[in-house]
Structure 1
Amino acid sequence: MALRMLQRFPLTIWARRPEAARPFAEKGASVAGAVEQLGAACDHVGLCVVDDADVLDVCGKLVPVMKPGSLLALHSTVLPETAMRIEALCAQHGVRMVDAPVSGGAPGAEAGTMTVMCGGSPEAFEQARPVFESFGRLIVRLGEAGAGQKAKIVNNALMAANMGLAQAALRAGEALGIERNALAELVNHSSGRSFGFEVYARIPEPGLFGHGARMLLKDTNLLAAILPDNMDSAIIEKTAKSFLLLEADE
């Protein structure tokens, strides 16, 4: 995403691990020595860290030094309430905010075809759109702050559930004596196909998906946390977790 931005805009990078910023510097980006330096220098800041605690920690240092009229785009997948807290913090400092989690992975970022799920005011959304267009194809405002997070959490839980079903289907095929790769190719060209199936079918061994499984498990837990008590999410949640807990432990 950052490299796509660099093709259209001057870019300043800050990373908690300095070595992560090196490839961007080699391509012409400036590197901030601290997150406060980044916030003071930029009109648009895109933030992508792992979880709610990370977002709150970084934003506590970042937002107070951002220029009035600038914008914070929150690309992390977190609780909608966290996005709303960050929007309130931004408002105290005259900064606009959009929660904008993305879908498409590294291939989508490299191709500039990501889906960007946005929550925030119409004014903030329009301010952010030119930057989002550098890496996104479908860019949708879904409502006020937190709406983007809700959509991303539902999407990721469904992705995980589809991968869990793919695992069960391929195991069923093997139990019936069908060669795994042959079945995977067949399903990918038949009515049972899904993106989750495609992803799972091309993982050569479970241990290689451990990190991805932990991230999807985090997001599935977020879905359980935000759904109303009377909402039955058992099919998505249980299917996803039965698969993810096993993969994350590999």
Structure 2
Amino acid sequence: MYILGAAGSGKTQLTQALVDFLRARDQSAASLNLDPGVMDLPYIPDIDVRDYVDIYDIMERYRLGPNGALILAADMIAAHIDDLKRDVEDLKVDYLIIDTPGQLELFAFRASGPLIASTLTDGVKAVVYLFESTFSSDPFNYISNMFLSAAIYSRFLLPQIHVISKSDLVSNEMIEEMLSWYEDEEALENAIESRLTGERYIFTRHLRLSLKDLCSVSALIPVSSKTGLGLTELSAALTRIFTGGEELLI
């Protein structure tokens, strides 16, 4: 499964928390870091793209700045897809949690991203898309995230699970309100009408209507990698996608 979301949405933390959660329940799980530019990780990835693509070597060799090197590195990963695929096959795990680059566009909106996703693993795949809680608590930002997740769906055409990440940073009332936006179109429409005005209101309302039924999303789940909130529900949603509801035991 591919963990995607905007920079700062908590992709790396969720990768670590989810792998630890699955392993603690005797599930066969591993992590893969696909971010060639990350300096420090809070976990030791089972597979690390930095073993094949060195961002600092790219900067020196091609005389690029950090941004240019990251763009080139994202494309260079595709040249090592056979190496990464072999590493994945050697792991022989049931669940592979893939931590994608911090800059979402480097993976989602370059040609190399869908190529990697279609080639790296066989079998069922899914995207876990993160709605960072403090950002998405505004209806305009919530709709913007919905639009971005739809754009990602158009790129990968994989089933999506939406996660409200860092849920411990907002109140329970705010979480409940965001869930109501997901479950009830009228609740979201009311929030848009009461909080937005002018061009922002008109644009957001039209965007909401255009997004209706645009992609298949199986759930919106509040999760905290810090407290463990929602990891059981996220694991269950993933199990339904991957195995039809039956957990894979080692």
Q: Same fold (TM over 0.5)?
A: no
Question: Could you say which structure has the larger radius of gyration?
Answer: 1
User: TM-score, normalization: structure 1?
Assistant: 0.29
User: TM-score, normalization: structure 2?
Assistant: 0.29
